[in-house]
Amino acid sequence: MNKRLFLQTSAALAAALTFGSVHAQTPIRFQLDWRFEGPAALFLQPAAKGYFKAAGLDVTIDSGNGSGGTVTRVASGTYDMGLADMAALMEFHANNPDAPNKPVAVMMVYNNTPAAVLALKKSGISKPADLTGKKLGAPVFDAGRKAFPIFQKANQLGNVSWTAMDPPLRETMLVRGDVDAITGFSFTSLLNLEARGAKPDEVVVFPFADHGVKLYGNAIIATPKLIKENPAAVKAFLSAFAKGAKEVMANPAASIETVKARDGIINVALETRRLQLAIDAVVASPDARREGFGQVNPGRLSLMASQVSDAYATKTRVDPTAVWNGSLLPSAAELNVLPPAKK
């Protein structure tokens, strides 16, 4: 070892010993609800920019395979935090009343559920009422399918029949005519239909949020253990996330590079569109602007708890006060992240 390298190494070791205890990074294992697609930029941006690290956190972000899985893995302690559908969280609470480690939502990200019904115009379906008697398709765990009874009641629909399939086949079966309509996240299924040859003007979309169903969508969840033992870490995570999310919403095209860095084979143009659709439909929605980014309206949350209890036929009734803890949210100034409303 030459003298310069020896001195550099010695200095680095000394610095580590001196500051290690002061700048110890709290590890946070975080799981997304789905794959590394456009909306994942909301979390990958603060990680890539070093905002989590600057807040004293060592954050690991993994892809997911559905909100139900994310809730279960956070409940098991495999992950400390995650992004999951509020209805899936409520369902877990109500079906597992004795679970020792029920995750809690600490920040709302998708103020409206992205769930929607999609059909092709050539089917003759032009309004929700036209769905009565039709064959709908979706995976059995799909958020829109599970919450469909709420949509059905809100729009006074008659009976429908269901066909189950794996997620990759959903849009294919609609294009082939195997089903009349599907449920899915609007910004996912719409782009998937286009990828399978359907033109945008050939698709009719009924977002739940625009048709009488005001369910909350995806929220950041955390383990009660982390909230109790290290609330400062949760608060630091939410502040860093808000800072990154603001940048993403201000410039989605630039932030999509953080997604490409995690999954090199993504279609950049497609995922940029997906991210923009998600921002417009559920993150910076009119409801989010009314209630404030990251927050929930207690009355609306209580109504959702009642609706989910009924639609999901849960073992016990959902307690809205048990699934939400807004005490660790950043300041109002830090939550002022939504872009100007589009005219």
Q: What is the CATH number of the domain that holds 188?
A: 3.40.190.10
How many of the other CB atoms lie within 10 Å of CB of 77? 13
How large a percentage of the chain has pLDDT more than 70? 93
- pLDDT score of 279: 97
- pLDDT score of 17: 40
For residues 102 and 96, the answer to whether their CB atoms sit within 8 Å is: yes
The mean pLDDT of 249-272, rounded to a whole number, is 96
Q: Is 77 left (phi over 0), alpha (psi -120 to 50) or beta?
A: left
Pair (205, 228) in one structural domain: no
Give the residue numbers spanning the domain of 172: 115-210
What's the chain's average pLDDT? Answer: 93
User: Quick check: 178 pLDDT over 60?
Assistant: yes
For residues 305 and 83, the answer to whether their CB atoms sit within 8 Å is: no
When pLDDT is cut at 50, 70 and 90, the band that residue 23 belongs to is: low
The predicted model scores a pTM of 0.91
Pair (104, 123) in one structural domain: no
How large a percentage of the chain has pLDDT more than 90? 91
Q: How are beta strands 115-120 and 203-207 bridged, if at all?
A: antiparallel
How many of the other CB atoms lie within 10 Å of CB of 315? 11
Q: What single-letter amino acid sits at 256?
A: I
Q: How far apart are the first and last CA of the chain?
A: 64
- pLDDT score of 343: 74
And the tokens for 219? Answer: 């929220």
Residue 329 lies in a domain: no
Pair (108, 224) in one structural domain: yes
User: Quick check: 41 pLDDT over 60?
Assistant: yes
Number of domains in the chain: 2
User: Quick check: 9 pLDDT over 60?
Assistant: no
Pair (228, 308) in one structural domain: yes
- pLDDT score of 14: 44
For residues 298 and 326, the answer to whether their CB atoms sit within 8 Å is: no
CA distance 238 to 225: 17
Residue 4 lies in a domain: no
Crossing angle for the helix pair 252-262 and 41-48, to the nearest 10 degrees: 80
The mean pLDDT of 50-78, rounded to a whole number, is 97
Cβ partners under 8 Å of residue 10, min gap 6: none
Residue 234 lies in a domain: yes
When pLDDT is cut at 50, 70 and 90, the band that residue 137 belongs to is: very high
Pair (98, 177) in one structural domain: no
